[in-house]
Structure 1
Amino acid sequence: MSSIGADDEFRVYAILYARRDGRRGQHFHGYDARWDEPHPTAYYVWLAVSANHTVLVDAGIHPDRAAGVADLEYLASPSQTLAEMGVAAESVDHVVLTHLHYDHTGTAREFEAARYVLQRSELDYWTGPWAERIARERWLASESDLAHLRTAQQEGRVRLVDGDASVVPGLSVHLVGGHTAGMQVVRVRTAQGHVVLASDASHFYENIEDDRPFAILHSMTGMYGAFDRIKELSDGPHLVVAGHDPEVLDRFPPLSASLAGRVAVIA
């Protein structure tokens, strides 16, 4: 492999930190004749490591919040699994927050050396007047997590972006909306091509593959547009990583025997 640009290529991992049983009817917008079939949810964060950067994408649920989520099996905090992988929390230089739902922001404060990257429209929405009035969305944000971000912003540790932006060489964020006002996906350059970490822009592979929006959404047209943008950004459907699909661990190989069922190597 050519050395030109090699330092900008990443290894990408999906890290399962929790799981929960559910039903199909909870996970797809509109009526589903199979609504009562079991349909489990997996909860991930993602790690991207290059020669020069260690980037965490999303930060999972805080253990305290997890304790109050019905039927949630919390396996380990993201930082605990990172430690098992040999990655210290202080070595993470960026935490990309795809959106500000509680199951994506909960342990961000544990990465004290990192700079947080999120869309300005996402922060504006959750700290503005509208989210407070929209009960179907407000419960999804954590006030303590938002307070931490505001403090980090005052300390100069938050980078707000507007639309598409490079975070570090080889890794970029792309505003898609749909699930939330400022939902962003992450495109990562790897030796196998560009991976797209869809996060909640496509909770399950069925969302994007069958053009079926998830049940919780901010904009219906935005959700469909997000599916199209993810396809444009990836170098093939095999390099798209759904946000909450247990199938991720079947589509991609485990990092090691000891971490099988918890950490998958995406590329």
Structure 2
Amino acid sequence: MSDTGPDDEFRVYAIRYAQRDGRRGQHFHGYDTRWDEPHPTAYYVWLAVSAHHTVLVDTGIHADRAAGVEGLEYLASPARTLAEMGVAAESVGHVVLTHLHYDHTGTAHEFEAACYVLQQSELDYWTGPWAERIRRERWLVGEDDVARLRAAHKQGRVRLVDGDAPVVPGLSVHLVGGHTAGMQVVRVRTARGHVVLASDASHFYENIEDDRPFAILHSMTGMYGAFDRIRELADGPHLVVAGHDPRVLDRFPPLSPRFAGRIAVIA
């Protein structure tokens, strides 16, 4: 007998808070003859709501840092968009941080009532000796974000996990690595089946569908293993949500005409 029921099913939303023009050569590992073709990037956070829990997956870039990113169009802070949806920041009980890159942690401190869920290996890496020396990765982490996270840890508001772990009934995290040392994806039980929020384990659908890793990675073999694990966890490829692909907004319907181009209903 299943130990889950309708109360453990979530509604899941992809919320686009920013966008940026780019080139294919920036987004795929290795040389590509099409490297100079336009290849836009969308920036998302994800909201999962059940009868008893409100979970935010990642928290986006803070507006102050976004202002310094060339070509980035900042649409609205995640907290502001949640408020437009009728979800107050203080109602978010858990914030899952898939990894500690600045475009996923920048507004975490605005969710003051939440418990942050993070892989131990991710925190260990970015606060350890190696990341300080690897310049190609170090710029991707916001030092202020990590400092706030460590302060929250001292307050008992951070749950560090090691591998796969349930967060609340119907929602779990799964260590995949690849993009970062402690990259995790999120599996969510919905009425349509299990959705996997891949975040940066697959920036674009082309990454996982064509077996092509993203340009920025911690481990090449880890990236391929992440693709396999995502497929195992999702109840079909139609329930995989890529982390930065504008096509998410084409594959899934908008919450309402008002939110077209900003919020998609995943399930």
TM-score tier after normalising by the smaller chain length:
over 0.9
What are the Cα deviations for residues 221-261 of structure 1, in whole angstroms up to 9, with x where unaligned? 00000000000000000000000000000000000111110
SS at match of 1:174: strand
Distance of 1:128 and 1:9 partners within structure 2: 38
Pairwise CA distance, 1:151 = 0.3
Residue 103 (structure 2) pairs with residue 103 (structure 1)? yes
Q: TM-score, normalised by structure 2?
A: 0.99
What are the Cα deviations for residues 51-96 of structure 1, in whole angstroms up to 9, with x where unaligned? 0000000000000000000000000000000001000000000000
The residue number in structure 2 matching 1:239 is: 239
Distance of 1:96 and 1:111 partners within structure 2: 11
Distance of 1:75 and 1:51 partners within structure 2: 29
SS at match of 2:259: coil
Distance of 1:148 and 1:52 partners within structure 2: 27
Pairwise CA distance, 1:114 = 0.1
The residue number in structure 2 matching 1:199 is: 199
The residue number in structure 1 matching 2:20 is: 20
The residue number in structure 2 matching 1:119 is: 119
Q: Give the paired residue count.
A: 266
- What amino acid does structure 2 have at the position aligned with 1:237? P
- What amino acid does structure 2 have at the position aligned with 1:200? D
- What amino acid does structure 2 have at the position aligned with 1:25? G
Distance of 1:46 and 1:252 partners within structure 2: 13
What are the Cα deviations for residues 91-121 of structure 1, in whole angstroms up to 9, with x where unaligned? 0000000000000000000000000000000
SS at match of 2:19: strand
Unaligned runs of 5+ in 1: none
Distance of 1:192 and 1:258 partners within structure 2: 24
Pairwise CA distance, 1:218 = 0.1
The residue number in structure 2 matching 1:65 is: 65
Pairwise CA distance, 1:35 = 0.2
Distance of 1:80 and 1:259 partners within structure 2: 13
Distance of 1:21 and 1:110 partners within structure 2: 27
What are the Cα deviations for residues 157-190 of structure 1, in whole angstroms up to 9, with x where unaligned? 0000000000000000000000000000000000
Alignment of 1:107-256 (within 5 A): 107-256=107-256
SS at match of 2:103: helix
Distance of 1:76 and 1:248 partners within structure 2: 18
Pairwise CA distance, 1:20 = 0.1
SS at match of 1:214: coil
SS at match of 1:15: strand
Unaligned runs of 5+ in 2: none
Moved over 4 A (4+): none
Pairwise CA distance, 1:8 = 0.3
The residue number in structure 1 matching 2:75 is: 75
Distance of 2:71 and 2:192 partners within structure 1: 37
Cα RMSD after superposing both structures: 1.1
What are the Cα deviations for residues 16-50 of structure 1, in whole angstroms up to 9, with x where unaligned? 00000000000000000100000000000000000
Distance of 1:54 and 1:33 partners within structure 2: 44
Distance of 1:230 and 1:190 partners within structure 2: 16
- What amino acid does structure 2 have at the position aligned with 1:231? R
Q: TM-score, normalised by structure 1?
A: 0.99
Distance of 1:150 and 1:161 partners within structure 2: 15
SS at match of 1:258: helix
Distance of 1:254 and 1:214 partners within structure 2: 27
Q: Percent of counterpart pairs with the same letter?
A: 87
- What amino acid does structure 1 have at the position aligned with 2:88? A
